[in-house]
Amino acid sequence: MGVTETDKKYVANTYARADVVFLRGKGATLTDRWGNKYIDFGAGIAVNGLGIGYGKWKRAVKAQLKALPHASNLYYTQPCAELAKLLCKRTGMKKVFFSNSGAEANECAIKTARKYSFDKYGENRFKIVTLINSFHGRTVTTLSATGQEAFHQYFMPFTDGFTYVPADDYEAMEEAVDDGVCAVMLELVQGEGGVKALDKEYVKKVETLCRKKDVLLIVDEVQTGNGRTGSLYAFMQYDITPDIVTTAKGLGNGLPIGATMFGAKCENTLTPGTHGSTFGGNPVVCAGAIAVIRSINEKLLSGVNAKSRRIRDVLAACPKAKSVSGLGLMIGIEVDNAQEMKEQCLNKGLVVLTAKDKLRLLPPLNISDGELEEGLEILREVLS
Ligand SMILES: Cc1ncc(COP(=O)(O)O)c(C=O)c1O
């Protein structure tokens, strides 16, 4: 039995996989089992942010794998402590909880917001306001947090206590944040929901509202984080100070990690026994993530913005690209048939993604000029 047949027979049928078996990759180039090469404008859905097999990451991971692959959270390990310190120094946040995925990072944020409120105000102040078209994960609670009806099917009963309001509608937000609300949770650029950046003035007003009502502001940077939008975290471009920032994906550059970062207000909300994770803070994953965060410097970020401009310039001259949205190297393209175009790109040797009815580009942040131009040439053909 071949790989595809074995997968179809034995792997749970939850993904509509494209008919490609990837064997290896380097930087922004993937190779399939027939030796065909593909330029990667998807980065494993924003995970391979520094490209496949990034040198500094690989060396750190290998060294830690040799020294100590796992010890458990009953003991201290250096990479976990070091990564938490690095994230706090670079973001101004105060403490970090490590897990294994974006959904878990958000689950932790939700638990923290509810406990913060419970400790201070008692019961019945547990609601969390999220945005329509948001995406926050696949656990029962993070599906509840996700403001899309399509995700509220089959698995009832969902976790209670979520309210959804339209993005960029301040009045709706103000009305929703009543005395029963403990947190507001936002993606600053909605990823799965269609690559839509929130309005800066709106976000600033929401921050002020949260401060006034002692409601925690949670920013979900699972997709926008780790340099993707042209700053280390997107909140830095919005001139806000969130109470909780969650991230995952690109922080691990290929290994599973989730991080929930707490600001001063809630840095001590979680206490021994109130939360935990067997694999969270794993030394190998954390050693790799340290290399990732250290590599996200001014030079890399200005490269992200330059590459973003280059992609937008090319798209501006493509007749089938009706509009372009997003921030940095998180780019949405409005087209007539995103699914069909994605397949055309793949057949020509370019990996792209979709988000709702848009094409979505999430290339590695350090993609070489050669790989970028090669990919853009294919995109130009498909969109002309
Ligand atoms: C904004 C956002 N939050 C949460 C998640 C869930 O992350 P994970 O699949 O790692 O659980 C995603 C995944 O696409 C995401 O884009």
Give the ligand 1 atom nearest the CA of 191: 16
Query: Which domains, and CATH codes, for the chain?
Result: 55-295 (3.40.640.10)
Answer yes or no: is the C-beta of 248 below 6 A from any ligand 1 atom: yes
Over the stretch 320-344, which tens digit does the pLDDT of each residue have?
999 999 999 999 999 999 999 999 9
Ligand 1: which of 135, 138, 144, 247 to mutate, judged by most atoms within 8 Å of the beta carbon?
135
Q: What angle do CA 61, 63, 64 make, to 5 degrees?
A: 65
Give the ligand 1 atom nearest the CA of 192: 16
Give the ligand 1 atom nearest the CA of 137: 6
Answer yes or no: is the C-beta of 135 below 6 A from any ligand 1 atom: yes
The predicted model scores a pTM of 0.98
pLDDT per residue of the chain (384 residues) written in tens, 0 to 9: 899 999 999 999 999 999 999 999 999 999 999 999 999 999 999 999 999 999 999 999 999 999 999 999 999 999 999 999 999 999 999 999 999 999 999 999 999 999 999 999 999 999 999 999 999 999 999 999 999 999 999 999 999 999 999 999 999 999 999 999 999 999 999 999 999 999 999 999 999 999 999 999 999 999 999 999 999 999 999 999 999 999 999 999 999 999 999 999 999 999 999 999 999 999 999 999 999 999 999 999 999 999 999 999 999 999 999 999 999 999 999 999 999 999 999 999 999 999 999 999 999 999 999 999 999 999 999 999
Residue 103 Cα to ligand 1 midpoint, Å, equals: 6
- Return the exposure string of 63-79: e unless at least 16 CB atoms fall within 10 Å of the residue's CB, then b: ebeeeeeeeeeeeebeb
Answer yes or no: is the C-beta of 137 below 6 A from any ligand 1 atom: yes
pLDDT mean across residues, the chain: 98
Answer yes or no: is the C-beta of 107 below 6 A from any ligand 1 atom: no
